[in-house]
């Protein structure tokens, strides 16, 4: 049977005993154990009354178990909710049939399905409905959400055909070799889940991030990771950690970043430090891959986001919605194509700036497109900081300040002032051996004279599941609303 479960969990017998997943406690799960765990979970799901078409959320923090549950739900024909919480869906008015959780409240709607130790024990005979279900290509199989980092979270169904097509193009772009891969992105994200699935399909070991940058680097070393999939923000932390305490990672040959443009400075530091090729991906949950930048030449230009994929119809438009000629700066939009993109949201809004309008997806980015389909992103329109007529992206400010001694992490947002323009809001995580006053002085020397700054020291920066800075939450913190 050529269904998604069979493709992911029917591996050659030669690799059955090879490690597939690295658990939190350091144990590895073989491909044979992974297959049996998914089949066992599917049996318990069927026994709990979960069947075809049921939308089931998964509120389990352990990434390996969460992945097995996603595959088990696919096996019984249910719709696996890969990201967001049941509460997110309740607020958005999107109905769920249930939620698999370790903390059960019988009074809660949707119904709670307890993941207990018994779920790891096979059921004999196999419950009715637990066998792999052949999918209708047009039927939803996954329910994904946008990050919500710049506005309301949006929820969307992924069909079997859409997921298959995205995986196929991923193989075309990134290759299908058998490699060990460390993915820092959450499995509730579209790209993070696809990278996890591709790792298993190709017979590689899937490794998740450690509790700290140093721990993650040690995992890369210990498990001979060939490819790292992360965000520019997290890559910067890994680079800083390794520069402070070198960790030899000779097997690491490829770094893929997603979640925003990567600065040329960071790309060069990572490539030189690890001896790895750097690739940046621009895309969205709504459309999948949009553009890919491979090679250091790309990162010499700020905001360079790569060559637009052949199957993507992308335009740059002006404020009236008219497509602009090559090289003109404007708003990015991508035509929706049901082969690989969603058609609509489950919780559509009614505003004029809804991201999906008249067959197009508007990611909210400002950029330009060359005659040879090379895409440059200046920043997200809602995030651009207006300094009295001059608009600059938060990423450009962060890149300018990132190397200041004592700054471990930082993020910038625009904070509206009484004059109607923006002050630069900065959240700083600092080293204990450098005072905030020293950092403040260095920042003011780096920025233009007269730039208004509002700075706050924080213990950690708020992040979305994709590993991007949650700028909506950060702005609320800096404005004292959180």
Residues of the chain with pLDDT under 70: 1-13, 106-108, 133, 135, 147-151, 352, 482
Three-state SS for the chain is CCCHHHHHHCCCHHHCCCEEEECCCCCEEEHHHHHHHHHHHHHHHHHCCCCCCCEEEEECCCHHHHHHHHHHHHHCCCEEECCCCHHHHHHHCCCCCEEEECCCCCCCCCCEEECCHHHHCCCCCCCCCCCCCCCCCCCEEEEEECCCCCCCCCEEEEEHHHHHHHHHHHHHHHCCCCCCEEECCCCCCHHHHHHHHHHHHCCCCEEECCCCHHHHHHHHHHCCCCEEEECHHHHHHHHHHHHHCCCCCCCCCEEEEECCCCCHHHHHHHHHHHCCEEEEEEEECCCEEEEEEECHHHHHCCCEEEEECCCCCEEEECCCCCECCCCCCEEEEEECCCCCCCCCCCCCCCCCCCCEECCEECCCEEEEECCCCEEEEEEECCCCEECCCCEECHHHHHHHHCCCCCEEEEEEEEEECCCCCEEEEEEEEECCCCCHHHHHHHHHHHCCCCCCEEEEECCCCCECCCCCECHHHHHHHHCCCC
Note the pLDDT of residue 1.
37
Residues β-bridged to residue 416: 422
Task: Give the phi and the psi of residue 414 in degrees, each rounded to 5.
Answer: -90, 135
What is the C-alpha separation between 308 and 313, in angstroms, rounded? 9
Task: Give the phi and the psi of residue 56 in degrees, each rounded to 5.
Answer: -125, 120
Cβ pair 388, 418 in contact under 8 A: no
Measured torsion, CA atoms of residues 444, 445, 447, 448, in degrees rounded to the nearest 10: 100
Note the pLDDT of residue 219.
96
Cβ pair 334, 313 in contact under 8 A: yes
Note the pLDDT of residue 233.
86
Tokens of 159: 């069909």
Of the candidates 252, 255, 257, the one whose C-alpha atom is nearest the C-alpha of residue 224 is 252
What pLDDT digit, counting tens, does each position of 256-273 carry? Answer: 999 888 888 889 999 999
What is the C-alpha separation between 385 and 366, in angstroms, rounded? 13
Which residues have C-beta within 8 Å of that of residue 370, sequence separation ≥ 6? Answer: 326, 327, 376
Q: Sketch out the chain's domains with CATH numbers.
A: 4-369 (3.40.50.12780), 385-478 (3.30.300.30)
Note the pLDDT of residue 106.
65
Residues β-bridged to residue 366: 331, 379
């Amino acid at each position: 049977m050529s269904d998604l479960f069979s493709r992911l969990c029917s591996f050659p017998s030669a690799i059955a005993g090879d490690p597939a997943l690295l658990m939190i406690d350091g144990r590895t799960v073989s491909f044979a154990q992974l297959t049996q765990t998914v089949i066992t979970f599917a049996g318990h799901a069927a026994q709990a009354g979960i069947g075809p078409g049921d939308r089931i959320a998964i509120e389990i923090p352990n990434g390996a178990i969460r992945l097995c549950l996603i595959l088990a739900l696919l096996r019984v024909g249910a719709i696996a909710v890969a990201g967001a919480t049941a509460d997110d869906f309740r607020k958005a008015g999107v109905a769920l049939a249930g939620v698999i959780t370790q903390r059960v409240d019988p009074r809660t709607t949707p119904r709670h399905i307890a993941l207990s130790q018994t779920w790891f024990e096979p059921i004999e005979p196999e419950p009715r409905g637990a066998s792999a279900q052949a999918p209708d290509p047009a039927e939803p199989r996954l329910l994904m959400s946008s990050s919500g980092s710049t506005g309301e979270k949006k929820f969307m169904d992924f069909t079997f055909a859409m997921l298959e097509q995205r995986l196929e193009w991923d193989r075309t772009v990134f290759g299908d070799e058998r490699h060990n891969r460390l993915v820092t992105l959450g499995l509730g994200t579209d790209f993070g889940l696809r990278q996890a699935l591709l790792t298993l399909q190709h017979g590689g070991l899937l490794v998740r991030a450690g509790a700290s940058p140093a721990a993650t680097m040690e995992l890369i070393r210990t498990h001979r990771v060939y490819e790292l999939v992360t965000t520019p923000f997290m890559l910067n932390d890994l680079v800083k950690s390794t520069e402070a305490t070198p960790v030899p990672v000779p097997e690491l040959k490829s770094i893929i970043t997603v979640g925003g443009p990567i600065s040329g400075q960071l790309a060069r530091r990572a490539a030189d430090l690890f001896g790895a090729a750097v690739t940046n991906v621009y895309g969205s949950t709504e459309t999948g891959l949009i553009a890919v930048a491979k090679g250091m030449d790309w990162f010499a230009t700020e905001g360079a986001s790569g060559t637009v994929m052949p199957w993507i119809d992308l335009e740059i438009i002006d404020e009236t919605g008219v497509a602009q000629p090559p090289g003109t700066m404007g708003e990015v939009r991508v035509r929706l194509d049901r082969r690989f993109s969603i058609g609509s949201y489950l919780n559509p809004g009614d505003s004029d700036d809804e991201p999906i309008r008249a067959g197009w997806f508007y990611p909210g980015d400002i950029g330009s497109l060359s005659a040879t389909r090379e895409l440059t992103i200046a920043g997200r329109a809602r995030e651009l900081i207006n300094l009295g007529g001059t608009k600059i992206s938060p990423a450009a400010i962060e890149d300018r300040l990132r190397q200041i001694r004592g700054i471990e992490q930082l993020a910038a947002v625009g904070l509206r002032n009484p004059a109607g323009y923006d002050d630069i809001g900065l959240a700083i995580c600092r080293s204990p051996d450098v005072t905030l006053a020293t950092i403040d002085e260095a920042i003011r020397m780096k920025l233009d004279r007269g730039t208004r700054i509002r700075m706050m020291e924080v213990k950690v920066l708020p992040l979305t599941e994709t590993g991007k800075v949650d700028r909506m939450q950060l702005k609320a913190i800096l404005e004292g609303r959180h």
